[in-house]
Each structure stands twice: as C-alpha cells, then as structure tokens.
Amino acid sequence: MKSVKMIGVEFYGRNGASLIQPFQSLEKVKFMEMAEWEEWVPSASGGEYGPDFPRLQELILTNCPKLSRSLPCHLPCLKKLTVSGCEVLHDEGANTTTTRSLDYRSLEELEIEGGCQKGLLSLLVEIGNSVDIQCLPNRNCLQRLILWNCPTLSSFPKDGLPTTLTTLYIKNCKRLEFLPDEMLAKLTSLESLWIENSCDSLRNFPVSIFPKLKKLDIRGCENLESLSFIEGVNENLSHLRELFIDDCPNLMCFQCQGGWPTPNLNEFTVGECKNFKSLPEGIHNLTALRLLQVDDLPNLESFAEGGLPPNIRDLCTRSCERLRAPVVKYWGLEGLVSLKSFIIGGSILETLLKEHLLPTTLHTLVISGCDSILVLPGEGEGLRHLTSLQLLQIDACENLQFLPGEGLQHLTSLQELHITSCHSIQFLPEEGLPLSLSLLSIRNCSTLEKRYQNKTGKKWAKISHIPCIKINDQVIII
C-alpha cells in the first residue's frame, strides 16, 4: 500500500469510538513494503477498555522506511517483534509515546535489522547493521544477545551483561572491548558463544571461565594468541560439546594443564591459523569426540601422538605441511572402526595408502589438495582394501595424472565418484569403473570434459553403465 501515510483511529472501528475492545483474537500482524507510511496512531480509547491488541503474539514490520512514530504501547502477550528495513523508526518528541515506556513484558525475541533504531535499544536482543552506537544498555532479563555489523560499538555496559544470558553472538564489531574476566565469570548461564571478526583487542580467551558453555565458536579474531583452561576454575568443562576455531592468524596454542578438561566434547575444529603449533596432549582421552578437523595449519608438526579419539566418525586433516609421514603411524587409524568419513590432503597421503593405515570400515574418502602426487600409490594397493567405501572424491589434485584402475575395481561398494579440479587427468581407467557406481561427477577438469562430453566412442563405452553422469552442470541420465 504505497500511498498510505498514516494508520489512524479508524483502523480500530467506528472512527475509534467503539466501546468494544478491538482485535480481541488477533495473534499476528505483519506490515510490509509500506513505502510512505509514517505514523501508527493508537485507538481513541487510550487503553480505557484494555489494550488495542490484547492477544497479539507476533508483530512484523518490514521495509517501512518512513515510519517514525512509536509502536503500540501495551502489548501484554507479544512474544516476537521483528523490525527490518525501517531505518528512521525513533522517538520524535514529547507528544509521542517513547519506546522506553513500552510494556512488552512477555517478549521473548526481538530482531532489528537494517538500521539502528535508538528507541528500541532498551528492548535489545538483536542489533543489526548498527552504525552509530557506542555503548549498550543493560537488560536484566536478556537471554539472547546478538550484535552484528556495529563498527562503532566499543563497550558493553560498565556493570557487565545480565547473568541470565544463555546466547551471545558478536559479528563484525571490531572495536568492541571484550568483557574482563571478573565480569565474564558472572555469566554462569551462558551456553553458546560466537565471536566473529570482532574484539580486536582480545589476546587470550579464558574458556574455562564459563561453567555451562556448550558451544564456542571463534572466527577471524586476528589478534587472539591463546585459549586457556585456567587451573582451579571449572577445570572439568563437562558441558562443552562444540569447539570451533578458525582464521585466527596469531593463535599459537591452547593453554591446558593436565590434558583436555572437556570429557564430553563432540566436535572440534581448528583451521586457518598459520601460527598454530600444537594441541594439548591426551586428545585420545576424548572418548565422546565424533568430529575432528585440523585444517590449514602450516606450522603444526604433530598431534595425537597417543592415538586419535577411539570413537571418532569424521576426520579432516589437510594443508598441514609440517606433518610428516612417520607421525601418522601413531594415530592408530586402522583401528578406528567408527570412522566413516576422512578428508585428507598433503604429503602424508602416500604413507596412509601404501601402508594400508586406513580402516576398512571407511564409507567416504576425500583426497584434497595433494599437488605433489602424480599417481595414487601402488596402482591402487592403498585403495583396494577399502571394500566398504561408498563415496570417493578427488579434489584439486593439480598434478595427478592417472586413477588406479585395478584398485578402483576392488571397490565393490563404491556408489559415487567425484573428480573436481584435476586438470592433469586425461583418461579414466582403461579397466573401467566399478559396476556398483550409480553416480560419476566430473567438474572443472578440462581434458576429461572434452573427452567424454560427446558421449561416443570406446572411452564413453567404459562408463556408459553408470546410471547418472554429471559433467559440470550437465546431467546425463543413462
């Protein structure tokens, strides 16, 4: 309704003079794309007969850029308020009811996107694209606080954050000073913490200060140097399930005394940290760990000297140039009967395949970024014992020239073969591919694409038994 400038008293019936409480059953209101809408006037009764919207649970305002008056004052049942693309919504003077007097006592979720609405900060749960705030108000009832794209935000409230907080999400707030340890220690209910491209002053992060933390995700913190597990403070982080650290170029280590204090950790990732040197000892004691990713750590020389976690299901290790072949013999890979998926890259691949160090129970194998390998070892000797393998992906192996035809023939359970960004491979194996294959995918492999795109000749006959063949975006159903 592009011409509507005001929603007035007539919205409530009888020019607002009705003695009947309006909208007694309404639970959801959504205003969208109201380009000229400026003002939302309350009913003439002024609440004499009860609130204008006594049962409203959800209010959504989307792309109403000129709306500059207050929202309805008294919404006793409101649970969710979403404000998106309403750039000028703010307090406008003494005659306008300010958002500071709003009675939204049942509000559970507030989303603000596409501009800083100063009058709504007192109800803060989420701030989006805020460009002109420097200090946040404190709210004693907050459970979920999300801050993103706030380049001028520099501080939290002086008295810290509410102790009721369970989720804290910070993204693209580089100037924001992280809370001191004594204030962090009061966040005893915090369960999920995400810091991305923010808090440039953060050097050391005290993980063990949060007794109920379940998920910690830190990305793009360029000055972070260490994560510490402080002795004597919540040493046993039994609640922590997920730990994700990525793109922190100055991170060097985890400071742990006596091994990992995270007995129930399920997922652990550390990647793109060019100065990271070592993991704490005793990773094999993490019996609850199911996913482990060690990715793009050029200075990591070793880990898992005592073996990998016994119940791990998904493992990724690539772009760790200093990892040497002798190290992998101590991982005990062949004994990991729960391991189903393995992403591997780097010079240790040849050792794993030649010496049959991969478990026979493996379902998915991704070989990625192995530029030094011309031929997979021993014409497939390292592959032929993987009789449970269902998916094989060869990705970004620029110098790989041949696939081991004989070895692939032994993979009688193989269902999918993906070859991506391998420009040196000119032919698929002369011996053909396994009869069990249901999908062959070739992407960004210029020579292979030209050779098989015509769907004719002896070369095509070698793969014509495969029900589905994908060459880049072309799908061929046989």
Give tens-digit pLDDT for 232-247. 555 568 899 999 999 9
Closest alpha carbon to 398 in 344, 365, 446, 449: 446
Asked if the model's pLDDT at residue 414 lies above 50, the reply is yes
Q: What angle do CA 233, 235, 237 make, to 5 degrees?
A: 115
- Superfamily designation of domain 359-478: Ribonuclease Inhibitor (3.80.10.10)
Q: Tell me, what's the pLDDT at 103?
A: 66
Task: Look at 17 and 271; give whichever has higher pLDDT.
Answer: 271
% the chain with pLDDT above 90: 32
The answer on pLDDT for 187 being more than 80 is: yes
How many angstroms separate the CA atoms of 255 and 248, rounded? 16
As a whole number of angstroms, the distance between CA 164 and CA 157 comes to: 15
- Which DSSP helix (H) or strand (E) runs through 344? strand 341-344
User: pLDDT at position 123, please?
Assistant: 47
CB 365 within 8 A of CB 372: no
* Choice among 9-18, 318-327, 359-368 with the minimum mean pLDDT: 9-18
Over residues 330-346, the mean pLDDT reads 89
Report the range of poorest mean pLDDT among 78-92, 274-288, 419-433: 78-92
Buried b (16+ CB within 10 A) or exposed e, 203-218: eebbbbbbbebbbbbb
Instruction: Express each pLDDT in 196-213 by its tens digit.
Output: 999 999 999 999 888 899
- pLDDT, residue 87, reads 63
Query: Which is more confidently placed, 222 or 92?
Result: 222
Give residue limits of the domains in the chain: 1-123, 359-478
249-258, 285-294, 320-329: least confidently modelled range:
320-329
Average pLDDT over residues 333-345: 91
CA 96 to chain centre: 42
Chain mean pLDDT for the chain: 81
Instruction: For residues 397-413, give the mean pLDDT.
Output: 84
pLDDT band at 438 (very low <50, low <70, confident <90, very high): very high
The answer, yes or no, to whether residue 49 has pLDDT greater than 70, is: no
Task: Indicate the pLDDT class of residue 113, thresholds 50, 70 and 90.
Answer: low
**How do residues 270-321 score in pLDDT, each as one tens digit?**
999 999 988 888 888 899 999 999 999 999 887 877 889 999 999 999 888 8
In the predicted model, what is the mean pLDDT of residues 9-14? 78
Question: Which has more confidence, 375 or 190?
Answer: 190
End-to-end alpha carbon distance in the chain: 52
Mean pLDDT lowest for which of 25-34, 40-49, 210-219, 326-335? 40-49
**pLDDT tens by residue, 116-170:** 443 444 444 444 444 455 555 445 556 777 777 767 678 777 777 778 888 898 8
In the predicted model, is pLDDT for residue 397 greater than 70? yes
Alpha-carbon dihedral angle through residues 273, 276, 281, 286, given to the nearest 10 degrees? 0
Percent of the chain with pLDDT over 70: 82
User: pLDDT at residue 325 above 90?
Assistant: no
Position 70 scores a pLDDT of 66
Q: Which phi and psi (to 5°) does residue 9 adopt? A: -65, -25
